[in-house]
Structure 1
Amino acid sequence: MTFYKGDRLVIEKVRIENFKCIKGTFELDLKQGINILVGNNEAGKSTILEAIHMALCGVFRGKTIKGNLSQYLFNYEVVNEYLNNINQGIINEAPYILIELYLSEGAFPILEGDRFSDKSRLGRTNGIALKIAFDEKYNEEYESLLKSSELVSLPIEYYDVEWYAFSRKPLTSRSIPIKSSFIDVGSSKFQNGSDVYISRIVQNTLEMDEKTKVAQAFRKAKEFFSKDSAIANINTKITGISKLSKKEIELTVDLGSRSTWDGSLITQLNKIPFDYIGKGEQAVIKTELALSNKKSEASSVILIEEPECHISHARLNQLLESIKSNYGDKQIIISTHSSFVANKLGLNNLILLNQQKTVRFNHLKSKDFFEKVAGYDTLRLILCDKAILVEGDSDELVIQRAYMDTHNGRLPIEDNVDVISVGTSFLRFLEIAENLKTTVRVVTDNDGNVAALERKYQDYIDSNKKENIEICYDENVTTGTLTIGTKNPKLFNYNTLEPLLLKDNTLELFNQIFETDYSEEDLHKYMKTHKTECALKIFNYPSNIKYPEYIMRAVQ
């Protein structure tokens, strides 16, 4: 039975206090459909997914939270501050964890009430909360403990879990009308050879009469085991072992109500137990089963941890297309470190987590481009502190070496500066940089037409210049007489990186670097046709060289 009355279930907001890496209060607004969480390590991506799953299912990493409380669920700093204060005689409120899920208006009237923490909301709101807090009935015992010894850890034995609706109604896993599916490729949870997650999805897919038939067949199989003649002979033998008891000792199968088929049967794929197939294939199957589950109360929210793990590029592309096409009325929350995943699922769905603050990309004009040409390293720009954008590999190598020569041999990345090759998509990356206010330098050739280049970047040059973005290019045009080609000879372009490097150095030096003996014209031709090879030799050259002014402007 579902109580949902709206057009579509949505967790509108998650509010988390003192859980894992979150110190104090963290709030995150979510939207319908796909939400993509990105951020550096320890930003809280996994914490958010685990908090949502715990609030909806009462489960943390495969175990029920009520029977598996641990101090390590709490934020480390919050616990340390509390213990230090207690041991100095300063009595503060014991640390607690609170997870609140605010649901879309009218979603589940049975969950609607006024017991929630968001003070900006008035009246009644739909929602679910899970609170892990000190149980006051232990006050006297706890005070006695404090008098007798120094506290070195959180007294988790005095804590309890309260799981309730905003209506103040206590909840159990059965009474919550919605569920989440947590798909973590890197952490498969198996029980007696059976994947717990798969078993639950299969259960949700079956109708009641089908479940009954499976349960009856399973019971018959267990009874047949007990009646087998080989088992009967074994039971006769082990009964005779005991001389002190006249009661029979038997080897049998648990026929009690707790021994159910879903926890004992093994899920197979092509006759191979599910836990023996590759983790990538496991993730694909789990995700597709969750997406195909049509019951609105079952897996309404799908949580996916780093879907790129263990999956080949082609298979990952298929999985992402399936997610985009089939999520229907489900809400999907994904964490990822992959630019490909973020691009394919839409940068407008991205939520950047940074020091418990969030940045969104709702109105990117380039999101369709990156979705269709998903190989660009957009997350490198999104996650870095500063960036230098270049066109290709050879430019990247030269910029890296120029930076090292001016920063005591340190690579740019050691100073949190990322040098990113973006092809000709500078403007698309600059749109992202504008959104983030990230400090960015663009290093580009003028190709002999300064006016055209300045028109292209007019939003970032002179009167329109953005404080965080600078376009670095040679403002002069260099000419010469060298031509390229025999049938239709064209004037050589002296206004790219390689000719300008040669111009600022000497013919002898570059012949030495490249181990050649060319004239100036032949060296120009060689550097043009061996861009990456020449850049690599410059990068590895033991002595410093000179760089064009616009390169120095970028690296400084």
Structure 2
Amino acid sequence: MYISKLKLYNFKSFKGIQEFKFTEGKNFIVGNNNVGKTSIFEAIDFLFNGLKRNQEIDELLNNDSKSESVYVEATYSDISDLVKSVSKLQPYITTANTLTLKRGNNISIINTKGKQEKAHEKTLAYQRADTGLFYNPTGISNATKPFFDPTIIYANDHNENYQDFKSSSLLGKLLKLEAKNLLDSSKFKDVQQKFNDLIEQSGGLQDHLSEVKEFMEQAVSSQFGKVGLDFQFKIPEMDSIIKNGRVLAEDKNGKQDISEKGSGLQRAVVLAVVQAYSNFAKKADSMQFLIDEPELYMHPLAQDNLLNALDKLSEGDNQIFLNTHSPYILRHFNSDRDSVVILSNVTGETRVRQMESLIFRPTSIGEITYKAFGVPTVDLHQRLYSIIENKVIYEDNAGIEKKDKNRKINSETAFSDYLDFKYKNILKHKRFRPRYTKNSKNGGWIPAKNNVPLPFIVRNEIDHPDVYLEDETGTNNFNEDDLKESIDELFKIYQLEFKA
């Protein structure tokens, strides 16, 4: 069960309606600073948990919007059998096995009396499968809370909410799962019996409190007649024992509650909980994990360990959301299960877009870095150039008869001429100056040539960093703009060469 679609209306930096499509695996959200990456997490947080303490709904409303409405809507797909077994939810699950929830202010819903009204932000509404209208039936939120409870880890949070052991926290859920077998053990039953003895036996807690009880009975009886009072103490359950726990960290400064440590260590502990959950919680219900800037405070190997754990979680039907600035994080992109959402500051259709499909398998870090972040790399350029060149040399040449050897493409220059002839309208041209090898001005001569395709120049500059130029004008030296333009040209040529 996973969030397949998210719709925001006038939520923070997203003016009007913006839609996001997600996959069941890992969903990377990328973009420059202040484009709304964290706002997506805040929107999901608002949808399921409502406003934070002391927060006003106006704080979520887009500054440039004249509308007084703001809402968040999410559609779940592949609804689990466990959720479908909840009778209160059955009218809201479609034949396509989806469920849509909505929260905001001034949104139209059908109330418990069957009348239409405008709902406020305290109401979580559910879309009926038959009418498409949103309802808020009594008790539905409590019935569904266990199934729709995403774990959100913000970059700027001190993470206190994730360090306690209450049953709703990730750590509490993990410890409860691991302690489950202990509940039926003879050891735990012995503890419960000893607790009962401490309360009820002679000299126990009840005896110590008997005078207080008798005094209270007399005080009540003086007003209402004879009334007997008794104190009852329940035997603690495992939940009660676990939820009172805390995480302590010990270093050179001694042992302290983790909340008293620095934010870097706190975040490391929270992410360690996520990794532990992926390792131990084998049979837990599917969840959503939202991690803001997973690369924060982490060196590359630690990032790999975290992403490996998230890979394992996503394979176990847990959905992952990652806000990141790091191409290194995107090394773990799986084109079969994952998605990349790219945000920008521009308005219109390009404000939110899905990363276009990738051409390399396994995933090339150079390609995903370019398509997600717009950063050109030498690796991507060389890989594109080589794959096109190899196709032309080994496939196109195969169709040329032996007697027509002049048509053979058997050198870099011949391949450059081929590109120039076939894709002249795509390619930018530059002058390629004469140059020599460093060892000898008479050896390794490369003649000057005018109007050479840009990919050929960039390829040669990358492959031959040892050349000696006639002067220092730098004509042959490519810059990042040249590299980007050449990569764009090669992508276009690739699509034409390899199209079906």
Q: TM-score, normalised by structure 2?
A: 0.57
Does the C-alpha gap of structure 1 residues 318 and 189 become closer, same or farther in structure 2, counting only changes over 3 Å? closer
> C-alpha displacement at 1:285, in angstroms?
0.5
2: distance between equivalents of 1:312 and 1:552? 27
Matched, 1:343 2:331: yes
Letter in structure 2 aligned against 1:21: S
The match for 2:71 among 97, 101, 113 is 97
Shift in CA distance, 297/547, structure 1 to aligned 2, threshold 3 Å: same
Alignment pair present for 1:29 and 2:1: no
C-alpha displacement of 1:177: 4.3
Confirm whether residue 161 of structure 1 aligns to residue 145 of structure 2: no
Deviation string 1:480-519 (CA, Å, 9 cap, x unpaired) is xx66549xx95255679xxxxxxxxxxxxxxxxxxxxxxx
Equivalent of residue 294 in structure 1, options 273, 281, 287: 281
Partner of 2:213: none
1:357 equivalent to 2:352? Answer yes
Q: Which residue number in structure 2 is paired with residue 133 of structure 1?
A: 105
Name 1:450's counterpart in structure 2: 413
User: 1-side partners of 2:482 and 2:101: how far apart?
Assistant: 50
**Which amino acid is the alignment partner of residue 378 of structure 2?**
V
Instruction: Identify the match of residue 307 of structure 2 among 320, 330, 335.
Output: 320
Distance 1:134 1:40, change over 3 A: same
Q: Does 1:368 align with 2:362?
A: yes
Cα deviation for residue 266 of structure 1 reads: 1.3
Aligned position for 1:14 = 6
Alpha-carbon distance, 1:202 to partner: 3.5
Deviation (angstroms), 1:313: 1.1
Corresponding residue number in structure 2 for 1:43: 35
The reply to whether residue 332 of structure 1 matches residue 295 of structure 2 is no
Question: Does the alignment pair 1:422 with 2:365?
Answer: no
Cα distance in 2 for residues equivalent to 1:528 and 1:166: 66
Inter-CA distance 306–284: structure 2 relative to 1 (3 Å threshold): same
Aligned to 1:282: 269
- What is the number of equivalent residue pairs in this alignment? 366
Query: What is the alpha-carbon distance in structure 1 between the residues aligned to residue 143 and residue 17 of structure 2?
Result: 28
Deviation digits for residues 225-282 of structure 1 (CA, Å, limit 9, x no counterpart):
xxxxxxxxxxxxxxxxxxxxxxxxxxxxxx9x9x965554211356664343725522
Deviation at 1:106, TM superposition (A): 6.4
The SS at the match of 1:311 is: coil
Work out the CA distance in 2 between the residues paired with 1:351 and 1:553: 24
Question: In 2, are the aligned partners of 1:183 and 1:287 still within 8 Å (CA)?
Answer: no
Query: Is the contact between residue 472 and residue 550 of structure 1 (CA under 8 Å) also seen in structure 2?
Result: no
Report the Cα distance in structure 2 between the residues aligned to 1:171 and 1:103, rounded to whole angstroms. 19
Higher normalized contact order (CA 8 Å, seq sep 6+, divided by chain length): 2
For residues 296 and 164 of structure 1, do their structure 2 counterparts lie closer, same or farther at Cα, with a shift above 3 Å needed?
A: farther
Query: Aligned to 1:478, which of 431, 434, 453?
Result: 434
**Which whole-Å CA distance do the structure 1 matches of 2:439 and 2:275 have between them?**
55
Paired with 2:57 and 2:295, the residues of 1 have a C-alpha distance of 30
Amino acid of the structure 2 residue aligned with 1:101 = T
What is the deviation of 1:34? 1.7
Q: Which residue of 2 aligns with 1:310?
A: 297
Written as runs of structure 1 = structure 2, the 5 A alignment for 1:59-458 is: 63=52, 68-78=55-65, 81-82=66-67, 94-104=68-78, 108-109=83-84, 110=86, 111-113=89-91, 126-134=98-106, 159-167=120-128, 168=135, 169=137, 171-172=140-141, 175-178=144-147, 179-190=149-160, 194=164, 197-207=169-179, 264-269=244-249, 273-275=257-259, 276=261, 278-279=265-266, 281-292=268-279, 294=281, 298=285, 300-328=287-315, 329-346=317-334, 349-354=339-344, 355-362=350-357, 364-370=358-364, 374=365, 376=366, 378-379=368-369, 382-384=372-374, 420-423=376-379, 425-428=381-384, 449-455=412-418, 458=419
SS of match in other structure, 1:77: coil
Structure 1 letter corresponding to 2:159:
K
- Between the aligned partners of 1:160 and 1:99, the Cα distance in structure 2 is 12
Task: Quote the Cα distance in structure 2 between the aligned partners of 1:313 and 1:285.
Answer: 15
Give the Å deviation of 1:310.
Answer: 0.7
Indicate the SS of the match to 2:34: coil
The answer (yes or no) to whether the contact 2:77–2:99 under 8 Å persists in 1 is yes
Task: Render the CA deviation track for 1:13-72: whole Å, top value 9, x for unaligned.
Answer: 2222222222222222222222212122333322222323443x4166xx47xx744321
Counterpart amino acid of 2:140? L
Change (3 A) 1:350 1:462: farther
When the two chains are superposed, the root-mean-square deviation of aligned CA atoms in Å is: 5.0
Unpaired segments ≥5 residues, structure 1: 1-8, 83-93, 116-121, 137-157, 225-254, 385-417, 432-447, 497-526, 539-544
CA separation in 1, counterparts of 2:27 and 2:41?
11
Query: SS in structure 1 opposite 2:271?
Result: helix
- The separation in 1 between residues aligned to 2:17 and 2:7, in whole angstroms, is 7
CA distance in 2, matches of 1:299, 1:124: 19
Cα distance change on mapping 1:16 and 1:75 into 2, 3 Å: same
Structure 2 gap segments, 5+ residues each? 109-118, 129-134, 200-233, 345-349, 388-410, 450-464, 486-500
Counterpart check, 1:58 vs 2:49: yes
Q: CA deviation at 1:430?
A: 12
Kept in 1, the 8 Å contact 2:438–2:467? The answer is: no
Give the Cα separation in 2 of the matches to 1:453 and 1:336: 39
1:338 alignment partner, SS class = coil
Q: 1:189 to 1:195 in 2, by over 3 A?
A: farther
Q: Does 1:491 align with 2:491?
A: no
Per the TM alignment, residue 11 of structure 1 is displaced from its structure 2 partner at its CA by 2.1
SS at 1:287 equivalent: helix
Cα offset, 1:333, TM superposition: 1.7
CA displacement at 1:174 relative to structure 2: 5.3
Deviation at 1:335, TM superposition (A): 1.6
| Alignment check: 8 A CA contact 1:189 1:195 kept | no
Structure 2: distance between partners of 1:287 and 1:45: 21
Task: Give yes or no for contact 2:69–2:107 (8 Å, CA) kept in 1.
Answer: no
Rounded to whole Å, the distance in 1 between the matches of 2:64 and 2:11 is 11
320 and 35 in structure 1: CA distance in 2 versus 1, 3 angstrom threshold: same
CA 305–473 in structure 1, closer or farther in 2 if over 3 Å, else same? same
Provide, for residues 106-165 of structure 1, a one-character-per-residue CA deviation record: whole Å limited to 9, x for no partner: 6533434469xxxxxx877632423222499xxxxxxxxxxxxxxxxxxxxx94411133
Residues 483/208 of structure 1: CA separation in 2 closer, same or farther (3 Å cut) = closer
Contact preservation (8 Å) 1:472, 1:554: no
Cα separation, 2, equivalents of 1:359 and 1:485: 50
